[in-house]
Amino acid sequence: MKKALITGITGQDGAYLAELLLSKGYEVHGIKRRSSMFNTARVDHLYQDPHEKNVRFKMHFGDLSDSMNLTRIIQEVKPDEIYNLGAMSHVKVSFETPEYTGNIDGLGTLRVLEAVRLLKLSHKTRIYQASTSELYGKVQEVPQTENTPFYPRSPYGVAKLYAYWITVNYREAYGMYACNGILFNHESPIRGETFVTRKITRAAVRIALGMQEHVYLGNLDARRDWGHAKDYVEAMWLMLQQDKPDDFVIATGRTTSVRDLSIMAFSELGVEIKFKGKGLNEKGVVVSCSNADYRVIEGKEVVLVDPEYHRPTEVDILVGDAAKCRNELNWEPKYTLSELIKEMVEADLKLFQREKYLRDGGHETLDYNE
Cβ 49 to ligand GDR shortest distance, Å: 33
Per the annotation, the verdict on 83 as an active-site residue is: no
Residue 119: CB partners within 8 Å, gap ≥ 6? Answer: 71, 74, 75
Name residues contacting ligand NDP, limited to 171-210 (CB under 6 A). Answer: 183, 185-186, 192
CB under 5 to 8 A by kind: which of ligand NDP, ligand GDR, none does 11 bind? ligand NDP
| DSSP β-ladder status, 81-84 and 186-187 | unpaired
Name residues contacting ligand GDR, limited to 164-203 (CB under 6 A). Answer: 184-185, 194-196, 199
Cβ 170 to ligand GDR shortest distance, Å: 21
Cβ 211 to ligand GDR shortest distance, Å: 18
Cβ 199 to ligand GDR shortest distance, Å: 5
Q: Which residues pair with 4 in a beta bridge?
A: 28, 81
How many CA atoms does the CB half-sphere of 285 hold within 13 Å? 9
Q: Which residues pair with 289 in a beta bridge?
A: 271
214 has binding-site annotation: yes
What single string gives the DSSP state of each residue in 77-99? H--SEEEE--S---HHHHHHSHH
Per the annotation, the verdict on 170 as an active-site residue is: no
Q: Which of 7, 10, 125, 132 is catalytic?
A: 132
Name residues contacting ligand NDP, limited to 37-66 (CB under 6 A). Answer: 39, 63-65
**Closest to 112 in 3D by CA, of 158, 70, 168:** 70
What single string gives the DSSP state of each residue in 5-74? EEETTTSHHHHHHHHHHHHTT-EEEEEE---SS---GGGGGG---TTSSS--EEEEE--TT-HHHHHHHH
- Using the rule CB under 6 A, which residue among 43, 77, 87, 303 binds ligand NDP? 87
Residue type (1 letter), 271: V
- Using the rule CB under 6 A, which residue among 89, 167, 180, 188 binds ligand GDR? 89
Distances from the Cα of 325 to the Cα of 167, 181, 247, angstroms: 19, 10, 9
Q: Which residues bind ligand NDP (CB under 6 A)?
A: 7-8, 10-14, 31, 33, 35, 39, 63-65, 85-89, 104, 130, 132, 183, 185-186, 192
Q: Which residues bind ligand GDR (CB under 6 A)?
A: 89, 91-92, 132-134, 184-185, 194-196, 199, 217-219, 222, 224, 258, 309, 311, 314-315
- Residues annotated as catalytic (active site), given as ranges: 132, 134, 156
